[in-house]
Structures are given as C-alpha cells and as structure tokens.
Amino acid sequence: MVYELYYWPSIQGRGEFVRLALEEAGAKYVDVARGDKGGRDSVSRVLDGATKTPPFAPPVLKAGIIVVSHTANILQFLGPRLNLAPKSEAGRLWTHGLQLTMTDFVKEVHDTHHPIATSLYYEDQKKEALHYTGEFLKSRAPKYLRYFEDVLQRNGGKHLVGRSLTYPDLSLFQIVTGLRYAFPKAMKGLEKDIPLSVALRNAVEKRPRIAAYLASPRRIDFNEYGIFRHYPELDR
Amino acid sequence: MVYELYYWPSIQGRGEFVRLALEEAGAKYVDVARGDKGGRDSVSRVLDGATKTPPFAPPVLKAGIIVVSHTANILQFLGPRLNLAPKSEAGRLWTHGLQLTMTDFVKEVHDTHHPIATSLYYEDQKKEALHYTGEFLKSRAPKYLRYFEDVLQRNGGKHLVGRSLTYPDLSLFQIVTGLRYAFPKAMKGLEKDIPLSVALRNAVEKRPRIAAYLASPRRIDFNEYGIFRHYPELDR
C-alpha cells in the first residue's frame, strides 16, 4: 500500500500530524502536492472532485479506494495499520478522543493569530489577537498542557496510551515543538509544569526515523503561514 | 445495554447531538446529570475520576466498561449499534468525517458569542463578537451550509449518507434548527440556498421518535447558555 497524502505543500499545518505518523512507521507514502505533478492544484482537485464524498478541507488521505479526511480521522484509520494504536475498541476510542482534544487545542492555537476571521489578514485583527492570545497563554494553553501531562502521569509517565508509542505521542511532540516556535518566552514558563510532556517530546525527537525525517527536506520549516506562527508581540 | 450520558443538565449544547441519536433509535439511556442523583457534580466526577483515561470535557458516554468522549467519537461508537451508520469501513470513515466537519462548524457558531475567551462574559467581548459574527454570517456559515447541501445533492437529495437516516442527518437537523434560533433574520436569507437541507431538517422533525422527544420535557429549550444563542444585535 502506498498512501497518498493531500495537503498544502508549503506549511506543516494539520497535515504534519499525519506526516509524523507515516514517517515514524516507515510507511510508503506520497506527499502529493509536494511532488512534480502536485502543487496546490492537486489539493483543490481532491476537494472538488466528481465524487459522492467530497472532503471539506485538507488533509485528505487516500488508501486505495478509501478516502479519509480530518486529521484525527486519518490517524485513527492509520493507527492500527501502522502499529501506532492499541488493539482493543476501548483503547482505540480513548486514543481517538485524546487526538480530538489535540484537534481542539490546535484550533485554539490557530485562533491566537486569527481570532476574528481566517479571511482577514493578521494585521487587520492584531488588536484582537493580542487579547485572545493573552487569555490563551494565561488559561487555555496551561489547561490543555496540564491535561496531557496528567494523562501521561496516570499512565506511568512515558506514553499517553499503553506501554509503547502511539500516534498521540507524536502529535504531542508536534504541539510542544510548535508552541516553542510560536511562544518561546511563554513556553519557558509553561514547560516547568509539564516535565513528562517535555521528556516525551525529546524522546520522540530522537527516534531514528523521526530524527531522519526532521533532518530531511521533507520536514517543512515552521513559518508564518501555518498553525504555529511566531509573532513576537503575541509572546508575553 | 443502558447507556449513560454525562453532559451539562441545563443546555442542549454538544450533548444534544448525542441525545438525538439515542432518541431516534429508541435506545435505553440515562441523562445522568438530569436525574435525581445527578446534577453538575456528576459531570465533574466523570472528568476528575480516578481513572487512567480521564476525559477532557463533556459529553462523555459510558457503555458498560467503555468510556467515550467527544461528540463525534461518541456518535461513531453509537452509529453501528443504533443502526445509524453505514456498515463498510469506507462508509463509516466518510460519515465520521462529515460529523467532524459539523464539529468544526459548531465551534465557529460558539465563537460568534465568545470570539476572545470562554472565560470572559459575552458583554466583555461584544464588540469582537459583532465583528466575528459579521464574517461568520457572510462567509463561514454559507460555506459550511452549502457544503452539506452539496453532499446531499450528490447523494440523491434525501440523506447525507447512503439511502437511509444516519447520525449526521440528525446533527444537520440540530444545526439548522439552532441557527434559526440564533440568527432568525440571517437564516431567512441563507436558507434560500439550501432547500435540501431544510427539507431534511423538516423530515427529521416529523420522525415519530424525534417528534415525541421534541415535545417532551427531555428536550431542553434553547437558551443563552448553550452553543446557539440569540443575541438580536448579532443577527444582521
């Protein structure tokens, strides 16, 4: 099976959570929009195709005749196939629930720079972004981060689910890494309360396939077009 | 099997999407926080319990030893059990993806009255709410509503998935009904573009079990504490 990932070619964005799972598993996949015949048009074609099941937005994963959209949905589909999810139904539902909490967190991260509308420039909602981000760094980010820290602690400290790596571990790596990029000052304080999450982040970074991926041109750098953006004025 | 639903007792909120599925199926369930021994404390206890798998937020569904959180996750769990989801894996993934798009839509509806922070009163973010809602009614609500209308049309017009009722049909009923409550003026215009969705909404409303539910005290009225709130100044 060669998986086809359809996602914007110039950002990590939500697609990165899928890329990390595919890379960790050593899965064969094509990041279609980054290939020779890809580009943004290939993503648009997936959304507008003549199908009874048009996705609303990328990322979209194709696996043979199966088409899956929404990051967390893609990960729950890939999880068992890539050996990155527990086997029991209860375990899979719990794992997916964790990922959906991360989905909500990531949306709130996005809204730090776009609290009013995605159709407006950051500069046109900067005042509101300052207000939103102040509340985000004061209450929402700590609430989410302490929640995942608590889950880690209840589960023995090393992994969010079970006794080995699952896809939410990879996603927590991405979230902590992204928050460091976006809010380096604020994260210095916040990280004091989440030592297990930081240790998991560091352990994921050193896994051979993840380390190779991060050092490769396949890993797109953080930039100010994605979810995690570094605007110094927001980082207080 | 008697399902236990844990959700805030005084609002429809996100829990309502689960209630509608349980009611349509005639499933045995307890809306725990609305029972004699319930109340908000029963919800808090589920979130803070001595478990390895603490949910982040309600709604939470218990089914024997299985505990599921997040509305869309609960619905994908219940769907096959209540005969409200297709049988194939591809079909279930598509159905869940549709529901996750509704989850995103519902979050944006919520943010019309709380664009800056859930921890602040509406009155303290009213100016931003006016700005946010203007963009929401101009571009986001039409985009989502036309998407579901398009899915209905591609699928023959009567149902979002397959040839019979599935849980996203019930959720679309709730969304259209909620938007009518929150934005009656704006919806008069928006509904002109979504005749199939309106017809589906009306058909769901007349289904015997749903009609009985809506007429019962189990259906909580819309109010200004839930997702869909009617603030006349936002409805332009």
Interface test with B, best of A3, A88, A100, A147 (most B CBs within 10 A): A100
Mean pLDDT value of segment A15-26: 98
For residue B46, give how far its alpha carbon lies from the nearest alpha carbon of chain A (Å): 14
Task: List chain B residues with CB under 8 Å of A55.
Answer: 97
What interface predicted TM-score (ipTM) does this complex get? 0.97
pLDDT band at A211 (very low <50, low <70, confident <90, very high): very high
CB-CB neighbors (< 8 A) of B119 in chain A: 135, 139
Residues A95 and A207 in one domain: yes
Question: What pLDDT is recorded for position A68?
Answer: 98
Cα-trace Rg, chain B: 18
CA distance A159 to chain B (A): 12
Average pLDDT value for residue range B188-197: 98
Percentage above 70 pLDDT, chain B: 100
For chain B, the DSSP string reads --EEEE--TT--TTHHHHHHHHHHHT--EEEGGGSTT-SHHHHHHHHHSSSSS--SSS-EEEETTEEEESHHHHHHHHHHHTT-S-SSHHHHHHHHHHHHHHHHHHHHHHHHH-SS-TTS-GGGGHHHHHHHHHHIIIIIHHHHHHHHHHHHHHTTSS-SSTTS--HHHHHHHHHHHHHHHH-HHHHHHHGGG-HHHHHHHHHHHHSHHHHHHHHSTTSPPP-TTSSS---GGG--
Q: Confidence class of residue B183 from pLDDT cuts 50, 70 and 90? A: very high
Question: Closest Cα to residue A45, out of A32, A36, A35?
Answer: A32
Q: Is the pLDDT of residue B39 over 90?
A: no
Interface mutation vs chain B, best among A93, A113, A151, A159, most B CBs within 10 Å:
A93
One domain, residues A13 and A56: yes
B165 within domain boundaries: yes
Q: How far away is chain B from the Cα of A120, in angstroms, using its nearest Cα?
A: 9
Contact B115 A119 (CB under 8 A): no
Q: Which residues of A touch B139 (CB under 8 A)?
A: 117, 119
Residue type (1 letter), B215: A
Asked whether the beta carbons of residue A93 and residue B104 sit closer than 8 angstroms, the reply is: no
Q: Among partner residues B68, B115, B147, which is closest to A116 by beta-carbon distance?
A: B115
Predicted pLDDT of residue B231: 98
Closest in A68, A72, A107 to B107, CB measured = A107
| Residue A122 covered by a domain | yes
Please give the pLDDT value at position A40: 85
The reply to whether residue B96 touches residue A116, judged by beta carbons under 8 angstroms, is: no
Residues 100-129 of B with CB under 8 A from A: 100-101, 104, 107, 111, 115-117, 119-120, 128
Q: Which residues, 6 or more positions from B61, have their beta carbon under 8 angstroms from its beta carbon?
A: B3, B4, B5, B6, B18, B67, B68, B69, B74, B77, B78
Q: What is the β-pairing status of strands A3-6 and A29-31?
A: parallel
What percentage of chain A has pLDDT greater than the value 70? 100
- The reply to whether A43 and A118 lie within a common domain is no
Which positions in chain A touch B89 (Cβ < 8 Å)?
Answer: 66
Query: CATH no. for residue A168?
Result: 1.20.1050.10
What contacts B26, CB < 8 A, 6 or more positions away? B209
pLDDT at A51 over 90: no
| Chain A interface mutation, best of B70, B103, B104, B135, highest count of A Cβ atoms under 10 Å | B70
The residue out of A81, A97, A121 marking a domain boundary is A81
pLDDT at res. B205: 98
Among A51, A90, A144, whose Cβ lies nearest the Cβ of B65?
A: A90
Domain identity same for A56 and A125? no
Residue B38 binned pLDDT confidence (cut-offs 50, 70, 90): confident
Q: Which residues of B149-186 are buried (b: 16+ CB within 10 A; e: fewer)?
A: bebbeebeeebbbbeebbbbbbbbbbbbbbbbbbbeeb
What phi, psi does B60 have (nearest 5°)?
-130, 135
Determine the average pLDDT of the residues in A163-169.
98
Peptide bond into A59 cis (omega under 30): yes
pLDDT tier at A187, thresholds 50, 70, 90: very high
Average pLDDT over residues A186-213: 98
Q: A221 — contact with chain B (CB < 8 Å)?
A: no
Which of residues 183 through 202 in chain B touch A, CB cutoff 8 A?
Answer: none
Q: What is the pLDDT of residue B37?
A: 80
Cα A35 to Cα B182: distance, rounded to the nearest angstrom: 45
Of B151, B29, B34, B145, nearest in space to B94 by CA: B151
Q: CA-CA distance, B168 to B164, in Å (whole number)?
A: 11
Taking an 8 Å cut-off on Cβ atoms, the answer to whether B73 and A90 are in contact is: no
Residue A178 lies in a domain: yes
Contact residues on chain B for A136, CB-CB shorter than 8 A: 117
Q: Is the pLDDT of residue A38 over 90?
A: no
Chain-chain contact of B135 with A151 (C-beta, under 8 angstroms): no
Query: pLDDT at position B40, please?
Result: 85
- The residue segments making up the domain with residue A54 are 3-81
What is the average per-residue pLDDT within B218-223? 98
Query: Does residue A203 fall inside a structural domain?
Result: yes
Number of cross-chain residue pairs from A and B with Cβ atoms under 8 Å apart: 113
Identify whether A43 is part of a domain. yes
Residue A225 lies in a domain: no
Averaged confidence pLDDT in chain A: 97
Asked whether residue A117 is assigned to any structural domain, the reply reads yes
Residues in B closer than 8 angstroms to A131, CB to CB, are: 116, 128
B185 Cα to chain A: minimum distance (Å)? 21
| Residue contact A115–B120, C-beta within 8 A | no
Tell me: pLDDT of A190 over 90.
yes
- Please compute the mean of the pLDDT values over residues A197-215 and round it to a whole number: 98
Residues A153 and A69 in one domain: no
Q: Cβ separation of B66 and A90 shorter than 8 Å? A: yes
Q: Are A202 and A97 within one domain?
A: yes
What would the pLDDT profile of A91-145 be if each residue is shown by its tens digit?
A: 999 999 999 999 999 999 999 999 999 999 999 999 999 999 999 999 999 999 9
Rounded CA separation B229/B119 (Å): 17
The predicted pLDDT at position A139 comes to 97
Residue pLDDT, tens place only, B73-111: 999 999 999 999 999 999 999 999 999 999 999 999 999
Judged against a pLDDT cut of 90, whether residue B50 lies above it is answered with no
The pLDDT-based confidence of A157 (bands split at 50, 70, 90) is very high
> What is the pLDDT at residue B179?
98
User: Taking a contact as any Cβ pair under 8 Å apart, which residues of chain A between 147 and 186 contact chain B?
Assistant: 147, 150-151, 154-155
Does A53 lie at the interface with B, CB-CB under 8 angstroms? yes
Q: What is the pLDDT of residue A48?
A: 86
A72 and A95 inside one domain? no
Q: With respect to residue B17, please indicate whether it lies within any of the assigned structural domains.
A: no
Number of domains composing chain B: 1
Entry pTM: 0.98
The answer on A181 and A129 residing in a single domain is: yes
**CATH number of the domain residue A63 falls in:** 3.40.30.10
**Residue A97 shares a structural domain with residue A69:** no
How many angstroms separate the CA atoms of A37 and A51, rounded?
A: 21
State the pLDDT at residue A49. Answer: 82
Confidence of residue A36 (pLDDT cuts 50, 70, 90): confident
Q: Inter-chain contact A94–B53, Cβ cutoff 8 Å?
A: yes
Question: Domain check: are A72 and A37 in the same one?
Answer: yes
B7 neighbors B43 (Cβ within 8 angstroms): yes
Q: What pLDDT was estimated at residue B113?
A: 98
Q: Look at residue A236 and tell me whether its pLDDT is greater than 90.
A: no
Average pLDDT over residues A74-90: 97
Question: Are both A155 and A40 inside the same structural domain?
Answer: no
